[in-house]
Structure 1
Amino acid sequence: MIKSRLRDSLVLLLAALLTGCSNAGYYAQAIGGHFAVMRAATPIARLMSDPASDPRLKSKLHEVQAIRDFASRNLALPDNGSYRAYADLGRPYVVWNVFAAPELSLKARNWCLLMVGCVSYRGYYDQRDAEALAAELREQGYDTYVAGVPAYSTLGYFDDPVLNTFLRFGTPEVARIVFHELAHQVVFVNDDSLFNESFATALENEGMRRWLASNAAPGQRAIFETQRLRKAGFAALMHAYRDRFRALYDTDRADGAGPTVAQRDAKAALFAALRSDYAELKASWDGYAGYDAFFGDDLNNAKLASLALYNELVPAFEALLARLDYDLPQFYRSVSQLAALDKDARRQALTRLMPAADETRQAQGSVALGAAEVR
């Protein structure tokens, strides 16, 4: 099955290159970059049985194996070859994603690609390529953001390996990432990044709740709970300010007119207020500074848009899961039914869940937003 999917994927990708697709250079780096990752992978079982393997690496991989088994046994996630091999890429991230949004809008620019449809980012295996695209987009007037990404999913077309890029974060973070990425193999809808990422984040949250309850030591649970509360506070702050930015951008816009000095000043003032409110929030975190880099000099619309991608519909999915009494197989079936709807109907169905979702968010918080933290 995997070999058949691999063959079909390569046929489509090569067809794009041979027909002079304008994205040929992008697809070429994507193919080369991904196969370099796959070539670097070694089965975890082989590393565990090799006397020459680093004992510290073996200890970490032993925990990874337990997480991977938990994912299929306890969360009904696919039982396949994904996350049963390990690759050290010799760099801190596997890809770098470029986000872009207009100067006076939070609507992220989309790129349409083979296999996955349209997404709100463009990923590169070389950071320099990502920075070059960001520079081009800035010249066109976009706000841009380049984010290092520790993991991605090939949706089951390949057996995705465990990578040094996220193994370095520790066992709880590995569990979070494995649950999230395997969720993409359960349900994935072309041209709807918000749906896909919100579903995977909701499943990740539930997976972490169950994994921590049965596997983590008390100290790990306490640390993760502290992180969860910080992330929930950060998420609430960003959600409130996204609404304020949308209200600003939706008013006083003359059709066809460029940004005015007053509009730019209002935007700068709102970002200053956001930084001030973050500083107040951070003061309650006992010196934790994991989000400081996010609030650096490059804070802009693209950064705000990148967070919405992962979180805006999470409460709706969590409310659906609660309504189904946390039955994960039934949850996956219900999400698959939503995925079969057209995009507008899908969004309306999830929006109807949002009032109940507000209670879920208050009770549980969010364990998403890890990408915004400094690692």
Structure 2
Amino acid sequence: MGLRIRREPHLTLATPSPPGAPSRRPSALRALLLAGLALLPLLLAACNPVYVARAGWAQAGILSAREPIPQALTRPDLDPRVAGKLALVWEARTFAVEELGFQNAGQSYTSWVDLPSDTLALVVTAAHRDRLAFHTWWFPITGRVPYRAWFSEDRALSAAADLSARGLDTRVRPVAAFSTLGWFSDPVPSTLLRQDETGVVETVLHELAHNHLFIPGQGRFNESYATFAGHAAAITFFCTRPGGGPDTRWCLRARDRWADQRTVARFLVELEEELREGYTDLREARREHGDEARAAADLDAFRSRTFGGARERFASEVQPTLRAGGWATLGSEELDNARILSLTLYMHRLDDFHRLWMEEFGGDLARALAALREEAPRHENPLDAIEALSLDP
């Protein structure tokens, strides 16, 4: 089974302050001490201390290389394209805190770091071949999560190979940014700045949304909510900022990207349901006939037929309707359970989040996000907060 590496924009690894920047670049020793102190509870808990130590060392290296954005913007040698995007991040972050009421922002994304490579981290995901279920990892702060991040390509590929050898569908994907949920003052990594302006702002606001609301062990809610919050906040920012407006290029592009995200989500969630039903039928047939060889052949045939049909439908029916480009490879790439789950993790009930924002809160995103922050933790399934907040469920 081959290991596939795909690029993804973000990842969650675990009273808002004024959006001021750190006054100076932190020393390497100070960053190491901060990372060590913050990670000490992890080292003493059940997760692998060697893994945590390596992650802490890598995080400390990133922290020690941070530069405050206002300081960077004064440098004459800074690439103008980088400067423009950093200035936009600063403006969008300020907007999110002051106008949208994002909580727990701290000093996250008030600095940036120029990384020597085009990859910030590699994330390994795995899923069972005969059912739509992630292989998961448990961490003390985040709870059980369906991915594991590595700062070393060799270690990520080795971990993925071990999972693949156990018969799991496996994916390795680079990420351009991540959130530490306020434990550190996350910088804007240079890897993120390879995206266009709307992508940069959406991703930073997605990560800040995790600081605003994160429920341990609820990956599907956390990522789907943050997908909604990042896109909706980007739309609100670009369409209302000074010099912006509903007919400006970035506002229109942000709206198109959100519309595309919801279109793709509908397709993928339907595919997820088709797969769940098919795998259930296969398990029942296996119990009835008890023939393992036949069951394996039936499983392979079902996967080939279903994933192949999904690629064809996406290329012919979904891709032509998308407004902002992107998603081109989904109609041609090899699909498996790990790929589908890694996408739908971010895409559950996006239309319902949108409806909540537009209809129940009249387009007032600040009120919608504040209400979700209060309501979602009350539910065993935090997605039930959508119904609880609906005036007409």
Separation in structure 1 between the aligned mates of residue 322 and residue 226 of structure 2, nearest angstrom: 30
1:186 corresponds in structure 2 to 212
Cα distance, 1:351–1:271 mapped onto 2, change above 3 Å: farther
Partners of 1:332 and 1:257 in 2: how far apart?
Answer: 52
* 1:238 match: 268
C-alpha displacement of 1:305: 0.6
Query: After superposition, what is the alpha-carbon deviation per residue over 1:242-268, rounded to whole angstroms, capped at 9, x for unaligned?
Result: 111111011131359854201210111
Letter in 2 for 1:37: I
Paired letter, 2:71: R
* Residue pair 2:176, 2:191 contacting (<8 A) in 1 also: yes
Given the superposition, is the C-alpha separation of residues 50 and 201 from structure 1 closer, same or farther in structure 2, using an over 3 Å criterion? same
In the alignment, does 2:55 pair up with 1:30?
yes
2:8 equivalent in structure 1: none
In structure 1, the residue matched to 2:339 is: 303
Task: Give the corresponding residue for 1:60.
Answer: 85
Higher deviation after alignment, 276-285 or 180-189: 276-285
8 Å contact from structure 2 (residues 352, 386) kept in 1: yes
Superposition deviation, residue 334 in structure 1: 2.8
Distance 2:349 2:151 in 1: 28
Q: What is the CA–CA distance in structure 2 between the aligned matches of 1:288 and 1:324, rounded to whole Å? A: 27
Alignment of 1:26-105 (within 5 A): 26-78=51-103, 80-105=106-131
The verdict on how the C-alpha distance between 1:348 and 1:287 changes in structure 2, with shifts beyond 3 A counting, is closer
- Residue correspondence of structure 1 range 1-375 to structure 2 within 5 A: 10-11=36-37, 13-14=39-40, 16-17=42-43, 23-78=48-103, 80-215=106-241, 216=244, 218-253=248-283, 254=286, 259-281=295-317, 284=320, 290-296=326-332, 298-321=334-357, 322-341=359-378, 343-344=380-381, 346-350=382-386
Is contact 1:194–1:310 with CA below 8 Å preserved after alignment? yes
Task: Tell me the distance in 1 between the aligned counterparts of 2:216 and 2:323.
Answer: 41
How far off is 1:272 after superposition? 0.8
Q: Letter of the aligned partner of 1:245 in structure 2? A: L
Check the 8 A contact 2:35/2:56 in 1, yes or no.
no
Residues 354 and 274 (structure 1 numbering): CA distance in 2 closer, same or farther, change over 3 Å? farther
Question: CA shift at 1:304, angstroms?
Answer: 0.6
Residue by residue over 1:316-360, the C-alpha shift from the partner in whole angstroms, topping out at 9 and shown as x without a partner, is 43344342334445434432333433524x354546779989xxx
Higher helix share: 1
Counterparts of 2:379 and 2:230, CA distance in 1:
25
Structure 1: give runs of 5+ residues left out of the alignment.
Answer: 358-375
Give the 3-state SS of the residue equivalent to 2:133 in structure 1.
Answer: coil
Q: Which amino acid aligns with 2:115?
A: L
Q: Secondary structure of 2:125's partner?
A: strand
Paired letter, 1:139: A
Using the TM superposition, give the Cα deviation of residue 9 of structure 1 relative to its aligned residue in structure 2, in angstroms. Answer: 7.2
> Which is worse superposed, 257-266 or 187-196?
257-266
Unaligned runs of 5+ in 2: 1-16, 27-31
* Residues 30-75 of structure 1: per-residue CA shift (max 9 Å, x gap): 1112112112210111112233433443233222222222212221
User: How far is 1:159 from its partner?
Assistant: 0.9
Cα distance change, pair 97–351 in 1 and its aligned pair in 2 (3 A)? farther
Greater Cα shift, 93-102 or 251-260? 251-260
Letter of the 2:377 partner, please give it: A
Specify whether residues 50 and 352 from structure 1 end up closer, same or farther in structure 2 by C-alpha distance, changes over 3 A only: closer
- After superposition, the CA RMSD in angstroms is 3.2
Distance 1:41 1:12, change over 3 A: closer
TM-aligned CA distance change 1:353 to 1:271, over 3 Å: farther
Q: CA deviation at 1:290?
A: 3.4
- Report how many residues are paired: 353
Cα deviation for residue 135 of structure 1 reads: 1.1
- Provide the rounded CA distance (Å) in 2 between the counterparts of 1:134 and 1:108: 14
Q: Distance in 2 between matches of 1:107 and 1:351?
A: 25
Give % identity.
Answer: 27
Amino acid at match of 1:108: F
Mark the CA change 1:290 to 1:260 in structure 2 (over 3 Å): closer, same or farther: same
Q: 1: CA distance between counterparts of 2:81 and 2:61?
A: 25
Report the alpha carbon displacement of residue 218 of structure 1 after superposing the two structures with TM. 2.2
CA distance in 2, matches of 1:279, 1:356: 36
Equivalent residue, structure 1, for 2:5: none
Question: Residues of 2 paired with 1:233 and 1:350: CA distance?
Answer: 20
